Amino acid sequence: MLVVEDFNDTVKCIKTATIQDGEPIMWVYSYLAHDVMFDAGCANAASDFKRIKNEYDISRIFISHAHEDHFGGLSVLADKCEVFAPKLAHDELMHPTELDEFFQFVWGQPKGIQSVNDMPKSFQVQELNFKVIELPGHHQHMVGFHEPEKGWLFSADAVPLPSKKYIAMPDENIPMMVDTMKRISELDLEVLFDAHKGPIIDPQEHIKRRIDYLTETQQRVRDLNRKGMTVKEIVAEMGWEGPWYLGLTEGRFGIDFLVKSMLHDKAQEQ
């Protein structure tokens, strides 16, 4: 499924999702500013991207990171435009990992593209001047696209969707995620263009709630560990229980990954 919504005269939201029982499982947002697209949605909407390809004149696509819900439409769109991505994402975009059955259902299996350009440090889109900024945490090589004059940040997955995150991926670095959100909160933002929640106007409180929760939770997790509790015991003490689908992710998501990251990972200086 694909839906296009105008945010303002410049930016369009391109929402993609897999439909189950008539409802989207989870929206993922790409954005179109003039002739430039930020991320490219999920592969289950590939047939719908053919309409986007014909309806809009897209010259460049900037990919924030190499997760399948952010580049699934490239195989349809890339033959008529240039694709830019962080260097360490190139191989995944050209030779995508074969997804497990669950994620093929939720997002779809991306197909590879022929070529990818290195991500520039900055670029122009008509009157807009974007700076590329590093946003590690959710993905160690993720970037965002900041337009300082407008106060816009296309932030991908830098800010967690849930206000009380308790499930993580094995390569997520929670302290680094918090550090990244702190740096985002120091920007003079009017709009945060989030990859799953959509555009967030005046996002400071939205970001602060997530910083405060993860910071306080990490302190409690470390206190419990100092008392001798194991990861499993900490999960039980915190009262965290996984959703029904957690086992279907086959180890790609877990509550224990969040606890382990809070105990062992550190925020690296950018």
Q: Give 19-38 pLDDT, tens digit per residue.
A: 999 999 999 999 999 999 99
Q: Which of 259, 84, 70, 60 is CA-nearest to residue 174?
A: 259
Q: Give 113-130 pLDDT, tens digit per residue.
A: 999 999 999 999 999 999
270: confidence class by pLDDT, cuts 50, 70, 90:
very low
CA angle 113–160–228, rounded 5-degree value: 120
15: confidence class by pLDDT, cuts 50, 70, 90:
very high
Question: Strand 23-24 and strand 19-20: pairing?
Answer: antiparallel
Averaged pLDDT score across all residues of the chain: 97
Does the structure show a pLDDT above 80 at 269?
Answer: no
For residues 30 and 42, give the distance between their C-alpha atoms in angstroms, rounded to a whole number: 10
Share of the chain above pLDDT 90, in %: 98
The predicted pLDDT at position 5 comes to: 98
For residues 95 and 110, give the distance between their C-alpha atoms in angstroms, rounded to a whole number: 9
Helix, strand, coil share of the chain (percent; to 5)? 35, 25, 40
Q: Give 178-189 pLDDT, tens digit per residue.
A: 999 999 999 999
The predicted pLDDT at position 109 comes to: 98
